[in-house]
Chain A
Amino acid sequence: MQVIYLDNNATTKVDEAVFEEMKPYFCELYGNPSSMHYFGGQVQSKTVEARKRVADLLGASPDEIIFTACGTESDNTAIRSALEVLPDRRHIITSRVEHPAVLTQCRNLTAKGYRITEIGVDGAGRLDMEEYKKAIDDDTAIVSFMWANNETGVIFPVEEAAAIAKKNGALFHTDAVQAVGKIPINMAASKIDMLSLSGHKLHAPKGIGALYVRKGTPFRPLMVGGHQEKSRRAGTENAAAIIALGKACQLAGEFMEAENTTVKAKCERLEKELLAAIPHARINGGGADRLPNTTSIAFEFVEGEAILLLLSELGICASSGSACTSGSLEPSHVLRAMGVPFTCAHGSIRFSLSRYTTDAEVDAVIKEMPPIIARLRQMSPFGREFLK
């Protein structure tokens, strides 16, 4: 069965060119980049190139890039570091719709006596900047807001938020895992102190991430015990994956325009056609500024897991904010924070496209989705009642 992969916010295909780039560094050029000999040295020169490629995509300088194992490690490192370098400040600000890599850590820190403020969002998923301005004070050590939301694609005004943090003497971190490679980022003209990214969201393999730390920002490592990454992240470099991430970032830069024109057009067409064909459907975050590749659509009176499994029967991959898919019993914390009614939250489906998505694949989803929704509504007591 042909797979139609519209779940690129979950993970992406490794670009063939990225795979080619990393391949020699397993069985042939397997040296340790830290070694003194030439054999290791040639790996090091490739990791230097990779660091430059990652920095270029972010408009940063190479020594501001620390390679990590994943976005989650980058997030954890950034927040822990900020609390250690500002020990007199005991307040953390984040948002209610963060990824668990940030949210769970912040909530766990309350047990250590930290005060946490989770800033809310409006019905379209936009950050409540007024609430943020009121919450921040001279006790705030770190503000961590995601650049773009993984479920809805809603983009937060992180530059403006970073400027406010700076004014209050707090550090500013952004989880940009979903934004990097999809929208232009220029750290040279930014007040953001730290930024997390993840390789497997932009066609690099899983198991590699990076943390941007602005030059001059005080920093404490999470992993110690080695001089790697200038002692900012101990542990032998995952050289092949670092080289892959570099290549993936270079390609992301080259495809940036396509992402924001052709990919965006496909995503908008999918959204428009589905809304036209299916009554009682709405876009989560519809009124907000969003990523070019993401759409989260709520189909009323049906349940997300059932939709996903029927799509899966046809080879179509998407994801859902429904309770049943996550193993928890409540729908997604993002949709609940937005006040999406329960009638919609359980039936929310996220489609996330990539530069590999074809028009034919979009057409297939536009064709298959309406009968699936109709079939489940016909089976649902609420669907029957409300759609009479």
Chain B
Amino acid sequence: MWDYTPIVKDHFLNPRNVGDIPDADAVGEVGSLACGDALKLYLKLDDNKEKIVDAKFQTFGCASAIASSSALTEMVKGKTLDEALAVSNQDIAEFLGGLPDEKMHCSVMGQEALEVAIFKYRGLELPEHDAEHDHGHAYPDYEGTLVCKCFGITDTFLKKVIADNHLTTSEQVTNFTKAGGACGSCIPKIKELIAEVLGQAQEAATKPKLSNLKKMQLVQEVLERDIRPMLRADGGDLELIDIDGDHVQIAFRKACAGCASSGNTAKFVEMKLRELVYDGLRVQEV
């Protein structure tokens, strides 16, 4: 069971401002049935078209999605459009006394609906892209290249959320946007985007490149010095079979051969080699 705060529970059980505004000035829609949550936000402005005088919502989703939507409508009422645009997903989460990590995407959905509504109202419509994806489309108004095909999420949107929330791991990006949470095939791309946002991409590029000869030497050294003695201590061993580019082929010997957890051991070897030699290495058991 999720650990929801009393405020989340209250806004879920007694949601404020459910419904629609037939003569709304601005409407923002994000999410889809396929994605598992969706929000339609209605905003009504005062006669000067500056201040938000009323806000209503309809949400399909879990308790925290409903609570985030309810909180959002309460937060933006009385704000000018510019003030409303300054509301971040963190503000929504804080208003609710916090959200479980895995549910942060609910607050992001609220903030995006608000942004889409205001951008559309101001005629700043962001062009839709036509990339193919498996199902649904979470944020149709964000242009860019599709990264997560399962949830229909683009690089532009991901970079924005990564930067806004200072995200540093792909798990965090999944918690905040759902991207990478289904088939997982876009996780390497998400990591690249994180590196890009953090400015690490350039740093990595300036690193001296490891020559093949040097790489082989280092792999052998680490195996001899750091790994084989540990395996031998448990009655096992391994043999280096070949190094083909970034692929290090090993074979387990003695107690490690046919050991039920040799898969974990292989992972451990890979981790060590990545840590001590170069993080692009891959270990294959042959």
- Interface positions of A (Cβ within 8 A of B): 80, 108, 111-112, 301-306, 309-310, 313, 322-325, 327-331, 342-343, 346, 378-384
Contacts and interface: CB of A to CB of B under 8 A. Distances in A.
B178 interface: yes
B151 A306 contact: no
Contacts of A327: 102
A331 B60 CA distance: 15
Contact of A384 (B37, B58, B61, B102): B58
Contact of A381 (B60, B135, B150, B182): B60
B260 A80 contact: yes
B62 A305 contact: yes
B36 interface: yes
Nearest to A325: B62
Contacts of B61: 303, 306, 324
B63 interface: yes
A331 B29 CA distance: 22
B151 A303 contact: no
B18 A378 contact: yes
A330 B63 contact: no
Given A330-B181, A379-B58, 15 more contacts: A111-B285, A301-B60, A302-B60, A303-B62, A304-B62, A322-B36, A325-B62, A342-B36, A342-B136, A346-B33, A379-B15, A380-B60, A381-B29, A382-B33, A384-B20
Nearest to B39: A381
A309 B62 CA distance: 9
B36 A323 contact: yes
10 contacts: A303-B62, A304-B62, A305-B62, A306-B61, A328-B182, A330-B36, A346-B33, A381-B40, A382-B38, A384-B20
A328 B40 contact: no
Contacts of B111: none
A362 to B, nearest CB: 24
Contacts of A310: 13
Classify the interface of chain A: helix, strand, loop or mixed.
helix
B109 to A, nearest CB: 12
Given A80-B260, A302-B60, A342-B136, A329 B182 contact: yes
B36 A379 contact: no
B63 A301 contact: no
Contacts of B170: none
A306 B33 contact: no
Nearest to B41: A381
B182 A309 contact: no
Contact of A342 (B34, B62, B178): B34
B68 interface: no
Contacts of B188: none
A384 B19 CA distance: 10
Given A324-B36, A342-B135, A379 B29 contact: no
A303 B60 contact: yes
Contacts of A303: 36-37, 60-62, 65
A379 B33 contact: no
B12 interface: yes
The 7 lowest CB-CB distance pairs between A and B, nearest first, are A329-B181, A324-B62, A305-B62, A380-B60, A381-B58, A342-B34, A381-B40
Nearest to B32: A342
A382 B40 CA distance: 10
B263 interface: yes
A305 B34 contact: no
Contacts of A322: 36, 62
Given A301-B33, A329-B151, A330-B150, A381 B66 contact: no
A288 to B, nearest CB: 25
A308 to B, nearest CB: 9
Contacts of A305: 2, 62-63
B154 interface: no
